[in-house]
Amino acid sequence: MAAEELIELLAERPFKPLRLHLSDGRIRNIRHPEMAVVAEDAIAIGVPRDEGSRRAYKITHCSIQNIVEVEPLDVGQKTGGNGHPPTTDGGH
């Protein structure tokens, strides 16, 4: 995966939410293109508090070289905001 490829995926209109698979097995979801900033060797991803939010409550950073797969995200799938199952304790 190259930074330019990520930029192209984020620029597609209509935007299709993305799921990034990392080399260590973690998953990062990008539900809105404005929630991601691509640098030369890393991507900063805003993590929303809930699925409908366009405001990040935290930011996670991933090395682009650690992205092993990018796939369309099934937006009907329930996750805890960034690829993890929802928690009943508010994530604490």
- The three state secondary structure string of the chain is CCHHHHHHHHHCCCCCCEEEEECCCCEEEECCHHHEEECCCEEEEEEECCCCCCCEEEEEEEEHHHEEEEEECCCCCCCCCCCCCCCCCCCC
pLDDT band at 77 (very low <50, low <70, confident <90, very high): low
Residue 87 has pLDDT above 60, yes or no: no
Per-residue pLDDT at 51: 80
Condensed to tens digits (0 to 9), the pLDDT of residues 38-58 reads 999 999 999 999 888 889 999
pLDDT band at 59 (very low <50, low <70, confident <90, very high): very high
CATH topology of domain 3-72: SH3 type barrels. (2.30.30)
| Ranges of each domain in the chain | 3-72
- Could you tell me the pTM of the whole model? 0.77
